[in-house]
Structures are given as structure tokens and as C-alpha cells.
Amino acid sequence: MSKVRPDPPHPFFITHPELSFEDALAYASDLLQCAEALGDSPKTASYLAKMAKVMVDRSLECMTPS
């Protein structure tokens, strides 16, 4: 019997390629503020923190010349 192997997970949150450095950081800040306010809901706070990481990564991409 062969073991069933799931497909790798798809990214749950992606950014628009034209999102600016400033907007990405502002959005990340908002997401982290919401995550902090949801201390009694760790799953939701974790989800928001992961979204904020995507936004910070996008801001770093904006700083890298293409």
C-alpha cells in the first residue's frame, strides 16, 4: 500500500506586485496591532502575524533593486 502524500501547501496570503514599501510596512503594522489585541485567540493572532511577515517581506523586496 502506498502512502498518500498531500500536495505542498499553497501560499495563504500574497501581495500585489505594485504594493509600495510604505504601504506594505503600514499594513504590517496594522496587522501586528490587531494580533496583539487578540491575545486571547492565539490561532487568529498567529494568522495575523504570518500575514504581517508577508507584508514585511514585500517591503524588503521593494528595497532590493531589480
Domain positions in the chain: 21-63
Residue 5 clears pLDDT 80, i.e. is over it: no
Residue 3 clears pLDDT 90, i.e. is over it: no
C-beta of residue 61 within 8 angstroms of C-beta of residue 20: no
What is the band of 10 on the pLDDT scale with cuts at 50, 70, 90?
A: low
- Mean predicted confidence (pLDDT) in 36-62: 91
The pLDDT of residue 37: 94
CB burial string 23-40: b at 16+ within 10 A, e below: bbbebbeebbeebeebee
Residue 36 clears pLDDT 90, i.e. is over it: yes
